[in-house]
Amino acid sequence: MGEIPVATVDRIMRKAGARRVSEEAAKAMAEIIEEKALEIAAEAIKLAEHAGRKTVRDVDIRLASKK
Q: What is the DSSP letter of 54?
A: S
CA 40 to chain centre: 8
Quote the percentage of the chain above a pLDDT of 70. 99
**Residue 13 pLDDT level (bands cut at 50, 70, 90):** very high
CB under 8 Å to 37, separation ≥6 — which residues?
Answer: 4
Nearest one of 37, 39, 33, 41 to 13, comparing CA atoms:
33
Tell me: the pLDDT tens digits for 19-45?
999 999 999 999 999 999 999 999 999
Tell me: the pLDDT tens digits for 45-67?
999 999 999 999 999 999 999 98
Instruction: Return the CATH number of the domain spanning residue range 6-66.
Output: 1.10.20.10
pTM listed for this prediction: 0.86
Distance of alpha carbon 7 from alpha carbon 53, whole angstroms: 35
